[in-house]
Amino acid sequence: MKLNWATRITIFRILLVIPFVSCMLKINDPELSPVLQRTMRYVSIVFFLVMAISDGIDGYLARRRNQTTKLGAFLDPLADKLLMTCACLLLASQRAQVEGFLLPPTVVVLIIGKDLFLLIGFLIVYLITLQIRIEPVFVGKAATILQLSMVAGILIAPEVAVVLPGWIWFLRFLWWSAAGTAICATLIYIRNGSRYIEQYEQSLANKAQS
């Protein structure tokens, strides 16, 4: 199967998670000088921005060129969830935190919990219907945007906070908004998945009666 450019970019985005995590794990490495630690954070920012921008590019290409595929529809949210899971766990850890801007564990649990619920729901729907169903909702997209903004905001916080002393309060607004929309998105996906299963079972019952 020949991959289109949208899918290639998505795969490239998934592969970039590896160097991103590697750099993040070195931003507080005691074996590195403060300058090198700061450099690792800057490189992490670059990797993160490339992944965030490519997220929009692959979706645009898929729609613009009418190249939407089942593989792309599966890989795109997978790339988002892989990036956010790694970023949240790292920013909430002592080893990879941005000093003074530690991400609260509760926020991490809510964001990652949403993705786990979605994965379980996806498997349940597939096992019952034998169909791959991925239907994004507006709240889910909003949650992704807030999460990306939250991670970027934390990564650049040491420099921005010098100019904007209240930056920490904006970050707190961002991370709790991201957590709140994650909860809302989870509830909506659960409702939509339940309705889809009910419709599928009803269609089977109708076919059996006819």
Tell whether the model's pLDDT for residue 102 goes beyond 90: yes
pLDDT at 103: 96
Per residue in 3-32, pLDDT (tens digit) is 788 888 889 999 999 999 999 999 999 999
pLDDT at 26: 95
| Three-class DSSP category at 107 | helix
The rounded distance, in Å, linking the Cα atoms of 166 and 4 is 44
Question: How confident is the model over 78-103, as a mean pLDDT?
Answer: 92
| Three-class DSSP category at 28 | coil
What average pLDDT does the chain have?
A: 88
- The one-letter amino acid code at 129 reads T
Per residue in 161-209, pLDDT (tens digit) is 999 989 999 999 999 999 999 999 989 988 888 888 888 888 888 877 7
pLDDT at 1: 55
Q: Where are the domains of the chain?
A: 5-209
The residue assigned the tokens 């970050």 is 171
Tell whether the model's pLDDT for residue 49 goes beyond 70: yes
Q: Which fold has domain 5-209?
A: Four Helix Bundle (Hemerythrin (Met), subunit A) (1.20.120)
